[in-house]
Structure 1
Amino acid sequence: MDPTLEDMPARLRPTLQMLLNTSAEDERIRAVWLEGSLARGLADDWSDLDLHLAVREPESFAATDWLESQVHLVLADAIPGLTGSFICVTSGWIHIDLNVHPPDGEFAPEDTRRVLFDRDALIRNSMTTASPSGLPFFPAQDVQIFLYVLGQSVASVRRGDLIAHSQATAMMRDRLLVNLLLAENGVTSP
């Protein structure tokens, strides 16, 4: 466990400390850990918080309501295809990827994580990469499609077709941007 946050970026530290303190007071929350750049020690003030919670009865745990009770959210959106995962943005423009897991779930040993709180010794710290090869790669077709859709979105905005623009933005995020971010870390999306 690592309850100290002294090495965390200064802008993120107060929010993270408050979420950690609240988690320790909530018996439903069994463990809290970070993944991504914060876990690898590569974060800066504008990095997102990849926050993971092991929670009793995750199906009844209202994750975004819990987060909203701690910080004011301007966005709380479920990540398509990932049960218990949410993209959240605070009014202070802190991006939080909130992920809820059952306490008896499988926690792959190859995930990069930094355990902050663990009541039941469920989670282990790990500093390896999330992919078998771990080598970044360039998904050329995804990049081409991303740039094409980005260019077409300008026309949607100019025409006032906000529904088309909204759907294009969601597709860019879910189908393309996520794949590009995974490729940057050497992970092939399923």
Structure 2
Amino acid sequence: MTTDMFDSLADDATLARLHTRLSIDADAAGVLDVAYRTLDTPVGTLLLAATAAGLVRVAYDVEDHTAVLATLATRISPRILRVPRRLDTVARQLDEYFAKKRITFDVPIDLRLADGFRRSVVEQLRSIGYGDRASYAAVAAAVGNPRAVRAVGSACAHNPLPVVIPCHRVVRSDGTAGQYVGGAAAKAALLRLEAA
């Protein structure tokens, strides 16, 4: 039996139509708990995920998007669907950021994946302005625990919303970049983008 290449194209088109219909119906019925999409950027492909409350996760491709979606299914809800349009505003703002046309993000945020000390750190990161840098020690002091420098590093590594919440702006006390969830090259690229 041979397969006609047009049958394959029709199947792809049918699947795309069915997926679009499913996402619209699931969203309208209120049974879609997490919507996601990917976005190609100068620092790699980012996975964007949102709940009804707001942007809940930004993940670099080095984090393994499939594993990130599995974690979201476990920690938030298994009702996850690729619905790019629900994340169009975030995607547009990220594109503007990388084009140097935006210095802050204006999107609703859902911080349910950060709790305790890590959440305090993530919230503090939001106060580090575009083009500015803060040391891990300065962030530790700002959250009221000046000896928790390593814990700040861990909190930055577990920031659920890198780029949007700027953990890349946190550097070592000697000014060197330090570790980053998206990798050293991504952190260096973000710091260069904001310094230019």
Same fold (TM over 0.5): no
Return the TM-score normalized by structure 2: 0.28
Give the strand-richer structure, 1 or 2. Answer: 1
- Structure whose alpha-carbon radius of gyration is higher: 2
Please state which structure has a larger fraction of its residues in helix: 2
